[in-house]
Structure 1
Amino acid sequence: MSWQSALACWIVRRRMRPETAKPVIDVARARAYTARRVWSPKVPPGWRLTEHYDIHAAPLRGEWLASAAPQHITILYLHGGGYYFCSPRSHRSLVFALATRTDARIFSLDYRLAPEHRFPCALDDAVAAYRRLLADGVPARSIAIAGDSAGGGLALATLLKLRDAADPLPACGVLFSPWTDLASTGASIVTNDGRDPMFHGAALARAAKVYLGDADATNPCASPLYGRFEGLPPLLIQAGDTEVLLDDSTRVAEKARGAGVTVDFEIWPKVPHGFQLFAPFMPEANRALERAARFIREATPPPQRAAAQRLPETSIV
């Protein structure tokens, strides 16, 4: 455990975890806190950030990051935040780091948030954004869908929705600490309660209610853990060993492998939820994003060469 990870865990335990103990979620407070605390890294040299916040830009509302050189990989990124706060701006540190390591242009989607726009609005936006990429001529085999926390669950739900609709599927999915079970049935919600520096386990059900309203928490479009995984592209899943959401990852990895999906599953010790957001400050975040970039590059080879056959992995990092 690096001192940077120890410091990050200390900060989130002091500043964020107490908020998750409150019996009612204050959406406005969460959004205001995130807006105040956003650290926006500089756009990497040779890259350009283009913001699409015109109302007519939907369903591609959000931010493009691309370099001047030709790039054959496109990443559709879905930010976390419990479906009710955060934005592409709050996740730039992760998005910029992933794009430059992968040498991919990346679109960070500004999907609609609850409670103003409850389930399935976020999923509708993600599916529409992916289809817009295809309509613009981006080959499905060159696209990766990635996300963290709620965005990781949304990325997996998007894959299920696209497969069921017989859309061409992307080359791979990358899930950072995904929230895949809004019914909160994972054992780690109890066993890691107190170990997780960011969340109290009981907070998950409250957050799910904000997004779901009266919808069924076991609907696979909201909780992809309950879906069928046959036919999905290769998945990379990264999670921390102390997370209350750890079982949202372990059960997806097991179920996907049982359905014949290639899964690389990495469990990182003593890191906070969504630790990739702490790039470039945290060494663990940098290494995790390097692994994610390598996974995406291997799944999306240039057109002139075929992808090598890969074996699934599970590792304790």
Structure 2
Amino acid sequence: MSWQSALACWFLRRQFRPQTLKPDINVGRARALTAKRVWVPSVPRGWVLREQYRPDDAPLRGEWLEPSRTGGAVTDVAPQRTILYLHGGGYYFCSPQSHRSLVFELAKRAGARTFSLDYRLAPEHRFPAALEDAVAAWRRLLADGTPAGSIVIAGDSAGGGLALATLVALRDAGDPMPAGAVLFSPWTDLAATGDTIRSNDGRDPMFSGPAIVRAAQVYLGDAAPTHPYASPLYADLRGLPPLFMQAGETEVLLDDTRRVAAKAREAGVQVECEIWPKMPHVWHIFAPFIPEAGAALDRAAAFVNQVTSVRAAQSSSETSIV
């Protein structure tokens, strides 16, 4: 454990976790705190940030990070590689802006143009609004000419659970599937039945165990917490593309990762699951300050490159046969 990650855990334990001990969730305060960014990452050299926040930009409302076509550094970006990113934040706070440090670093490492979706948030827009937005964004990407096999859906925390739920919904609807999915500390069980909700309560520097149920209620409203589109742990995972999952071993949500990984493998899905010692929830967002964040993102980027290359080779082979 680096001194940088130890410092991040200390900060989270002092500044973030006490908020999760309160009996009620203050949505406005959570949004205000995440909007006050101590550090704003610069757009990487050789890349362009294109913001799409007008109402008529929906369903692709959010931010594109793309390689520059007008000078700057030469960027090794495969034009056929795209990441659809879904940010975390319990479905009720955070945004593409709050997650730029993670998204920028992942995009650079993967050499992929990346769209960070600004999906609707609860409690103004409860389940299944976020899922509807993610599915609509996927379909617009395909309608705009992006091949399904060139896309990886990625997300962290609630966004990780949303990414997995999106795969399930796309499969159920008979839509084309992406090359794979990257899930950072995904929140996959809004019923909060994992053993680590209790066993890691106090070890997790970011969340208290009981806070998980309270956050779920903000998003779910009257919906069942075991609905497979809200909690994909309870979904049939057969037929999904390869999954890459990472979580910290002290997280209260650790079992949300471990149980999905086990269930997906049983369903015949290719799964890479990494449990990192002493890492806080979604430590990737502390890139580039935490060495472990960069190392984890390197691993995720390698997965993105691998699965999109495999799908590209498959498409080329099928075309040559025809």
Same fold by TM-score greater than 0.5: yes
> Equivalences for 1:58-77 in 2 at 5 Å?
58-68=58-68, 71-77=79-85
2:218 is matched with which residue: 210, 213, 221?
210
Distance in 1 between residues matched to 2:195 and 2:313, nearest whole Å:
43
SS in 2 for 1:24: coil
SS in 2 for 1:90: coil
2:169 is matched with which residue: 148, 157, 161?
161
* Contact 2:62 2:116 (C-alpha < 8 Å) held by counterparts: yes
Distance 1:182 1:48, change over 3 A: same
Distance in 1 between residues matched to 2:68 and 2:176, nearest whole Å:
28
State the partner residue of 1:298: 306
* Contact 2:65 2:104 (C-alpha < 8 Å) held by counterparts: yes
Distance in 2 between residues matched to 1:279 and 1:3, nearest whole Å:
14
> Equivalences for 1:27-42 in 2 at 5 Å?
27-37=27-37, 39-42=39-42
State the partner residue of 1:312: none
Distance in 2 between residues matched to 1:42 and 1:206, nearest whole Å:
35
Structure 2, unmatched stretches of 5+, are 70-77, 316-322
Structure 1, unmatched stretches of 5+, are 308-317
Distance in 2 between residues matched to 1:21 and 1:305, nearest whole Å:
50
State the partner residue of 2:179: 171
State the partner residue of 1:81: 89
* Contact 1:59 1:125 (C-alpha < 8 Å) held by counterparts: yes
Distance 1:302 1:264, change over 3 A: closer
* Contact 2:149 2:311 (C-alpha < 8 Å) held by counterparts: no
> Equivalences for 1:1-317 in 2 at 5 Å?
1-37=1-37, 39-68=39-68, 71-301=79-309, 305-306=313-314
Deviations 1:93-144 (A, max 9, x none): 0000000000000000000000000000000000000000000010000000
Deviations 1:182-233 (A, max 9, x none): 0000000000000000000000000000000010000000000000010000
Letter aligned with residue 35 of structure 1: A
* Contact 2:200 2:251 (C-alpha < 8 Å) held by counterparts: yes
- Alignment length, in residue pairs? 307
Letter aligned with residue 27 of structure 2: V
User: CA RMSD for the aligned pairs?
Assistant: 1.2
Distance in 2 between residues matched to 1:142 and 1:198, nearest whole Å:
34
SS in 1 for 2:244: strand
SS in 1 for 2:288: coil
Moved over 3 A (4+): 302-307
